[in-house]
Structure 1
Amino acid sequence: MKLMVVDCSVSGVSGDMLLAALLDVGADKEVVKRAIERVPKFLDGCKEITFKLEEVYVDELKAKRVKIVAKDVVNSRSAVTLIDAVKECVSDLNLSNDAANIAINAIELLARAEANVHDEPIESVRLHELGMADTVADIIGVAAALDSLNLRREMIATTRLAVGGGVLKLSHGIFPAPAPVTLELLKVSGIPFSGGPIEGELATPTGVALLASMSSRVIQVYPPMSVEKIGYGAGSILHDGNPSVLRLLLGQEQETRGNVEEIMLLETNVDDVSGESLAYVADKLLSEGALDVNIIQAIGKKGRPTSILRVLSKKGHEANFARTMMQELGTLGVRFLTVGRFVAMREESLVDVRIAGRIFKVRVKRSFLPGGEPLTLKPEFEDLRTIARETGLTIREVENAVKKQIS
């Protein structure tokens, strides 16, 4: 299957970086240019937008950078105005449903995040920095670029997001990075993130909204894939004298055959320890990083009831777990051996679901047998609980509704 990986684990993400990287990976420049330059037709207060694509070198790495200059005659716009402009623009451009939905979801996410931060309904929200025409231009440009590459949401994965650090001076005051709206977007979307690797704003609200709208899953490591094209998109803000560079990988995801790994199995028999103590030790071992802990009932010497404590551990950690077992249980020995296990491929994705007339994002965990055959599908319980609280439905009703939509 066609796959694009957005690697923002070091660079962070912004709307112009995404657009530049998509153009570097092969998006049609003229299609993107025409789309962006149509924005003033649908956005009151914007007289003109010019688009320029240039080639730059960052520490000898060749990348693309976009420059979007908008002639705005207003200093803010309502969220409703921005949403309407994006909807009218994607309709006029006749984008595919997938590309249009990415653009609309991105601007609606931005509006919702601003509303949440200021505790106002979307209809009352006015955006200042994010209300300028370049926000709409970035969103329309990325949607047009994805459309020209024939990329749909299910073909796009993202890594963990770097957000930078330090202090940001915004129109509403001074805040630590990431900015409040960016942080709200990360909370709503569920995209994992980390601070650093440098000080400064590496993740912008527009970039995060687009990333959340276009990505169907989050990956910890690159999946098995053959890379056909690599795109580099340079940002417009300098950090330590150089812009951040976002990397995109475009290619084909390879059929997985499953993974085989070696782990350690530890066991000990005890016949003089209470069930409460065994349960305590099991919880302690799990909290220390054991892969799994089981308590098995058996018959020991002289017909005495015996419990077998079995622990699975990553290689290299077995001595620590054996020490804990001996200290807590008073056992005189712990058996161990190396075992192999087949591990199903697992992935996590963000899925939009409609519950009680509202759209929610739910993290969904999937696993696959060797060869790619689906094995399990499970929505994240914390997301189900949040939906239940916000809608007043029972957790069972929410779970059933979500499973119907994601299966």
Structure 2
Amino acid sequence: MVLVIDSQIAGISGDMMLSSLVHIGANKSKIIDGAYSAQDFLPGSKIKKISFGNVYKHGIHATRLTLKLDEVHHERKGTEIAGCIAKTARKIGLSQRAQEFAENTIQTLIGAEAKVHGISKNSVHFHEASSIDTVIDIIGCAIALDDLKCFDQEIVATPVAVGSGTVTFSHGTVSNPAGAILEIFKKSKILVQGSSITDELTTPTGASILVNLADRCSEFYPQMKISSIGYGAGQKDFDGISNVLKIVRGDAFDRLKSDRVGILETNLDDVSGELLAHSIDKIMSAGAKDVTVIPAVTKKGRPSHVMSVICDPSHVDRITDLIFSETGTLGVRIRFSDRITVPRKLLTLKIMIRGKEFKVRCKIREQKQFKVEYDDIKTVSDRLNLPFKDAEGMIKTQVGRQLK
């Protein structure tokens, strides 16, 4: 199965995402019960009414969240909102993956605010996001995605419309998109695009939800047999567009998927092994998908190396600059190529080895084929003073049992 989150026209907000999941069939009662449970962990916030109703947005039949609140706080620490989400997720019994999604989403939002204001995460105070509706959006989406079993599917995002003009909030008026939106998308796989709508189309909560869900971003829908479509309505009305988020669910037409990558190559003379190792680490940290260095012999019999880097097309300029600065090379060859890949998921699992608990990340292909991340094996090996191959064997045994 594959789920497409199409926000290329009207952007995305937390309530639009939640409403679209309800429209596609998520259990409304579970979501509403979860929202009421959150009140126990956020003093000063009371839900007077929560419901999902039918609306028409420029001729499109959609679902919209209606929320009426009684709140006495208009500013809260980000850690308070995060604590409420974590406690609610545990209380209502969300799956591990749904809990991780909810907690990662609010941490993405907090991290963006901290970066924009130049403060620590513990010092972040929310204004617009201080309401319990932020909790409802995130917890509600986690419940809905769990209910629809979307965490087991490939999730594809289209480029996101962010609008244009200016936006006014607690800190004043700034150009749109605001700093928090830019920080959220900065290191993600998601592409953004402006539009003629001079308003905020994508909210920080919606952006945080999207970057923690999407496996990849594509300008085109994948090959799929459509099974259901959901439309989640926003609260605003715009001339010329339907303010709805569209999600499309269906069966992938092919188990393989295609994308486009940039390939950067350069010949390196007179470089040490230490410089190569350092350059590889820096380039991978900058977002490269892979780096290969091959020994070679070039003109006049010089021993050299050929460095080849695979990256997203959007990262080509940044990584090219890094290759120049780190290696001292005088030229980089650039080309773009289509590639076919087998879909895989990155799953975090809890395991117990010799009485100690660890979290390990696994790349999983077709459920039974998996590869454990090297860094996590090394952590287990170091903490338990085990040979690397022994730690790897123990981890694989436990992971294999959980995936059966």
Bin of the TM-score, shorter chain as denominator length: 0.5 to 0.7
- The equivalent of 2:139 in structure 1 is 140
8 Å CA contact retained: 1:154, 1:216: no
Instruction: Give the alignment of 1:163-312 within 5 angstroms.
Output: 163-240=162-239, 244-255=243-254
Change in 2 beyond 3 A, CA 1:177/1:350 = farther
Judge conservation of contact 2:60–2:242 (CA < 8 Å) in 1: no
Q: Which SS does the other structure have where 1:210 is aligned?
A: helix
Is the alpha carbon distance of 1:244 and 1:197 closer, same or farther for their aligned partners in structure 2, counting shifts above 3 Å? same
Tell me the secondary structure at the aligned position of residue 111 of structure 2.
helix
Q: Residue in 2 aligned with 1:12? A: 11
Q: Which residue is equivalent to 1:345? A: 340
TM-score (norm 1): 0.64
Contact 1:5/1:159 (8 A) holds in 2: yes
Shift of 1:346: 5.5
1:181 deviates by: 1.1
Is the Cα contact below 8 Å between 1:224 and 1:253 reproduced in 2? yes
Q: Using the alignment, how far apart are the partners of 1:153 and 1:236 within structure 2?
A: 30
Residue 257 of structure 1 deviates from its aligned partner by: 7.0
Indicate the residue corresponding to 1:3 in structure 2. 2
Query: What's the offset of the Cα at 1:69?
Result: 2.1
**Structure 2 contact 57–237 (Cα < 8 Å) conserved:** no
Amino acid at match of 1:135: T
> Which residue of structure 2 aligns with residue 394 of structure 1?
none
Matched to 2:3, the amino acid is M
1:350–1:73 CA distance, 2 compared to 1 (3 A): farther
- Structure 1 residues 161 and 258, CA gap change in structure 2 (3 angstroms): closer
Matching residue of 2:329: none
In structure 2, the residue matched to 1:127 is 126
Using the TM superposition, name which of 12-21 and 234-243 deviates more: 234-243
Partner SS state of residue 40, structure 1: helix
Q: Deviations over 1:204-250 (max 9, x none)?
A: 00000011112222122111111100001110022238751110001
| Alpha-carbon displacement from aligned partner over 1:185-210 (angstroms, at most 9, x marks no partner) | 11143421011142211000000001
Q: Which amino acid aligns with 1:89?
A: T
Conservation of the 8 A alpha-carbon contact between 1:36 and 1:49: no
Write the distance in 1 (CA, Å) between the matches of 2:117 and 2:42.
24
> SS of the residue aligned with 2:150?
coil
**8 Å contact kept, 1:235–1:243:** no
Residue 63 of structure 1 deviates from its aligned partner by 0.7
Alignment of 1:97-116 (within 5 A): 97-116=96-115
Q: CA separation in 2, counterparts of 1:191 and 1:54?
A: 30
CA distance in 2, matches of 1:240, 1:153: 37
State whether structure 2 residue 120 is matched by structure 1 residue 117: no
- In structure 2, distance between residues paired with 1:348 and 1:131: 38
**Is there any run of 5+ residues in structure 2 with no aligned partner, and where?**
259-336, 349-358, 370-404
1:61 aligned partner: 60
Q: In 1, Cα distance between the equivalents of 2:36 and 2:84?
A: 13
Deviation readout 1:39-81 (Å, 9 max, x if unpaired): 1111122133521111011222111111122221111110111
- Tell me if the contact between 2:163 and 2:199 (Cα under 8 Å) persists in the aligned partners: yes
| Offset at residue 132 of structure 1 (A) | 1.2
1:129 aligned counterpart, secondary structure: coil
Q: State the alpha-carbon separation in 1 of the partners of residues 344 and 183 from structure 2.
A: 19
343-352 vs 71-80, which moves further: 343-352
Partners of 1:221 and 1:348 lie apart in 2 by 17
Percent identity between the two aligned chains: 33
What are the within-5 Å matches in structure 2 for residues 149-160 of structure 1? 149-152=148-151, 154-160=153-159
Q: 1:183 to 1:257 in 2, by over 3 A?
A: closer
Task: Quote the Cα distance in structure 2 between the aligned partners of 1:169 and 1:347.
Answer: 44
Separation in structure 1 between the aligned mates of residue 211 and residue 249 of structure 2, nearest angstrom:
18
Q: Which residue of 1 aligns with 2:85?
A: 86
Secondary structure of the 1:37 match is helix
Rounded Cα–Cα distance in structure 2 between residues aligned with 1:63 and 1:258: 30
CA distance in 2, matches of 1:244, 1:115: 30
* Cα contact 1:100–1:143 (8 A) shared by 2: yes
Verify the 8 A CA contact 2:257 2:342 in the aligned structure 1. Answer: no
Does structure 1 retain, via aligned residues, the 8 Å contact 2:50–2:67? yes
2:132 maps to amino acid: A
Structure 1 pair 223/188, CA: closer, same or farther in 2 (3 Å)? same
Q: Which residue of 1 aligns with 2:304?
A: none
Q: Which amino acid aligns with 2:200?
A: E
1:42 corresponds to 2:37: no
Partner secondary structure for residue 33 of structure 1: helix
Show structure 1 runs of 4+ deviating over 3 A: 256-259, 346-353
Alpha-carbon spacing, 1:70–1:153, altered in 2? closer, same or farther (3 Å): farther
Question: Any conservation in 1 of the 2:255–2:343 contact (CA below 8 Å)?
Answer: no
Matched residue, 2:355? none
The amino acid of 2:245's aligned partner reads L
Kindly state the Cα deviation for residue 347 of structure 1 after the two structures are TM-superposed. 9.2
SS in 2 for 1:165: coil
TM-score (norm 2): 0.64
Change (3 A) 1:242 1:157: closer
Instruction: Give the letter for the 2:339 counterpart.
Output: A
Partner of 1:344, secondary structure, is strand
CA distance in 2, matches of 1:196, 1:52: 31
Equivalence map 1:388-407=2 (5 Å): none
Task: Give the CA deviation at 1:154.
Answer: 5.0
Distance (whole Å) between structure 1 residues aligned to residue 242 and residue 44 of structure 2: 30
In 2, the alpha carbon distance for the partners of 1:93 and 1:127 equals 25
Matched residue type, 1:344: R
**What code does the residue aligned with 1:239 have?**
F
| 1:179 aligned partner, one-letter code | A
CA RMSD of aligned residues (A): 3.7
Distance 1:56 1:79, change over 3 A: same
Uncovered stretches (5+) of structure 1, i.e. residues with no partner: 260-341, 354-358, 369-373, 375-407
* Secondary structure, aligned partner of 1:239: coil
